[in-house]
């Protein structure tokens, strides 16, 4: 591992340290600060010439700052002659803007992919992309890990009988099916309508949930509208207990108030792909770490070994 170097921006230092702990290496030294007018200032404080470099930076809130820090760090590493630069993006922000679904809107996920490539990234390591097809926005290798294994280990420990895995929208069916298969559980799907970026409405529930213990699975929770609406609808349909397993806790806007007032939802399990700030901590939220998953993937990428078993 002597040719490897791991750097972190300011987005999630703790996750970077935990990954280093798994790999038994120390975090490499870089200064990522601000000039007085707010521009990002980066200085790589050690020699990276010829090294296999990984930069850990989820592009989580504030997304424009975290993304820009990542781009500038990659540029600095490229100019310092790193031999390969992997952008490790545990949460890939802007992923929901992945298609032109209205007139005169951008495809920002594609723009971000272009920016990462132009800055000098040689490959991308990420997890539970909002849509798997975003891999095709890149012409460099992309490894999209799944958090499902981490969640299944946790849920299986206290697995209730009569479990039903619920997708909160039709776009999440593939993910929900993977959970249902591994938990030997039934599957249900919610047909939801999005009225605005902050407000959704449940139209129908497809599948049997009455008297069952429901686990809603999703790639991300932002304002909490989708999750809370789904939990209320499941309660109305007489589900016995309701919990949620959501890969990325973006947790923005009114989400904490919504979690507070939603009696239907007992527990929200998220990963540490995004740091959980003190103000966002809530008794219903349980955080599982994906540091070992990323550490193992980084080790295998560095050793030119297959990472495919991590996708099982």
Active site residues: 192
Identify the H or E element spanning 189. strand 186-196
Identify the H or E element spanning 299. helix 291-302
Phi-psi group of 184: left, alpha or beta (phi > 0 → left; psi -120 to 50 → alpha; rest → beta): left
Q: Is 168 in the site for ligand R5P (CB under 6 A)?
A: yes
The binder of ligand R5P chosen from 28, 66, 200, 213 (CB under 6 A): 200
Q: Is 224 in the site for ligand R5P (CB under 6 A)?
A: yes
Of 112, 111, 17, which is closest to residue 67 (Cα–Cα)?
A: 112
Distance separating alpha carbons of residues 238 and 248, to the nearest angstrom: 28
The binder of ligand R5P chosen from 143, 169, 272, 296 (CB under 6 A): 169
Count of residues engaged in binding ligand R5P, rule: CB under 6 A: 16
Distance separating alpha carbons of residues 236 and 104, to the nearest angstrom: 39
Distance separating alpha carbons of residues 273 and 35, to the nearest angstrom: 28
Q: Which of 16-24, 132-140, 220-228, 303-311 is the region at the interface with ligand R5P (rule: CB under 6 A)? A: 220-228
Q: Is 220 in the site for ligand R5P (CB under 6 A)?
A: yes
Residue 146: helix, strand or coil by DSSP?
coil
Q: Is 271 in the site for ligand R5P (CB under 6 A)?
A: no
Q: Is 171 in the site for ligand R5P (CB under 6 A)?
A: yes
The binder of ligand R5P chosen from 219, 247, 265, 291 (CB under 6 A): 219
Q: How far is the CB of 102 from ligand R5P (least distance, A)?
A: 15
Residues 94-113 that bind ligand R5P (CB under 6 A): 96
Query: How is 212-279 classified by DSSP, letter by letter?
Result: -EEEEEEEEESSSHHHHHHHHHHHHTT-SEEEEEEEEE---TTHHHHHHH-SS--EEEEETTS---GG
Q: How far is the CB of 226 from ligand R5P (least distance, A)?
A: 3
The binder of ligand R5P chosen from 119, 126, 226, 247 (CB under 6 A): 226
Report residue 41 as tokens. 């200032």
Q: Which of 21-29, 36-44, 181-189, 221-229 is the region at the interface with ligand R5P (rule: CB under 6 A)? A: 221-229
Identify the H or E element spanning 300. helix 291-302
Q: Is 273 in the site for ligand R5P (CB under 6 A)?
A: no
CB nearer to ligand R5P: pick between 99 and 238: 99
CB nearer to ligand R5P: pick between 52 and 169: 169
Residues 227-256 that bind ligand R5P (CB under 6 A): 227
* Bridge partners of residue 6, in order along the sequence: 54
Q: Which of 9-17, 33-41, 135-143, 218-226 is the region at the interface with ligand R5P (rule: CB under 6 A)? A: 218-226
* Bridge partners of residue 190, in order along the sequence: 205
Q: Is 225 in the site for ligand R5P (CB under 6 A)?
A: yes
Binding site for ligand R5P (CB under 6 A): 96, 168-169, 171-172, 200, 218-227
């Amino acid at each position: 591992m002597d040719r490897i170097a791991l750097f972190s921006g300011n987005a999630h230092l703790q996750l970077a340290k935990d990954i280093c702990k798994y790999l038994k290496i120390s975090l490499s030294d870089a200064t990522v600060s601000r000039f007085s007018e707010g521009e990002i200032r980066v200085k790589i404080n050690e020699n990276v010439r010829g090294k296999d470099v990984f930069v850990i930076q989820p592009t989580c809130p504030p997304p424009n700052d975290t993304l820009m820090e990542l781009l500038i760090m990659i540029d600095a590493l490229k100019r310092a002659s790193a031999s390969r630069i992997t952008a490790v993006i545990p949460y890939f922000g802007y992923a929901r803007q992945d298609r032109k679904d209205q007139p005169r809107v951008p495809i920002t996920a594609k723009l971000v992919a272009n920016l990462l490539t132009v800055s000098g990234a040689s490959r991308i390591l990420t997890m539970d992309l909002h849509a798997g097809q975003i891999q095709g926005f890149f012409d460099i290798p992309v490894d999209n890990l799944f958090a499902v294994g981490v969640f299944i280990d946790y849920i299986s420990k206290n697995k209730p009988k009569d479990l039903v895995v619920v997708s909160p929208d039709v776009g999440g069916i593939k993910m929900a099916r993977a959970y249902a298969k591994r938990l030997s559980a039934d599957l249900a799907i919610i047909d939801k309508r999005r009225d605005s970026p902050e407000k959704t409405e449940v139209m129908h529930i497809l599948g049997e949930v009455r008297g069952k213990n429901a686990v809603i699975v999703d790639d991300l929770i932002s304002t909490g509208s989708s999750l809370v609406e789904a939990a209320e609808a499941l309660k109305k349909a007489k589900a016995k207990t309701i919990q949620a397993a959501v890969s990325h806790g973006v947790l923005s806007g009114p989400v904490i108030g919504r979690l507070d007032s939603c009696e239907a939802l007992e527990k929200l399990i998220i990963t540490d792909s995004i740091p959980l700030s003190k103000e966002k901590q809530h008794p219903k939220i349980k955080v599982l770490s994906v540091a070992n998953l990323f550490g193992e993937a980084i080790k295998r990428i560095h050793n030119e070994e297959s990472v495919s078993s991590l996708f099982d």
